Amino acid sequence: MSVVPQDRVAILTKRSFAHVATIGPDGEPQSNPVWIDWDGEFVKFSQTTGRQKYRNLQRDNRIALSAHDPDEPHRYLEIRGRIERVEDDVDNAFINKMAKKYINQDVYPWEQPGDHRVVLYVRPEHATKQ
């Protein structure tokens, strides 16, 4: 059973940006917006392995994310949890799915040569809502 409140699940399935917070190498917080997906068990987002956020999560898998409802901005959901697994984004299938959802394009347009893209799976352990 998920800790995500049923009345906030829609935030995770809409075109909501989640601000993901990780812990940097010197203990400092780092926060960035990402596109998200929800499969009923995990919050998923895409990342390239060269980014600081990915390196932070390899060292310490604790993560927090918050997203507000784009249709009702005063409603939000905060999730704290851990990265449970990381999978290669074979043929950029996941990031292309997110590009379709967020910018209505079939192919993610900002891929850089040499990027190694992965999908990170966040297991929610705690949720707070407003």
pLDDT value for 2: 84
Encode pLDDT of 102-116 as tens digits. Answer: 999 999 999 999 999
Residue 1, pLDDT > 80, answer no
**Predicted TM-score (pTM) of this structure:** 0.95
Architecture (CATH level 2) of domain 6-129: Roll (2.30)
Encode pLDDT of 40-84 as tens digits. Answer: 999 999 999 999 999 999 999 999 999 999 999 899 999 999 999
pLDDT value for 85: 97
As a three-state string, the secondary structure of the chain is CCCCCHHHHHHHHCCCEEEEEEECCCCCEEEEEEECEECCCCEEEEEECCCHHHHHHHHCCEEEEEEEECCEEEEEEEEEEEEEEEEECHHHHHHHHHHHHHHCCCCCCCCCCCCCEEEEEEEEEEEEEC
Domain boundaries, given as residue ranges, for the chain: 6-129
pLDDT value for 119: 98
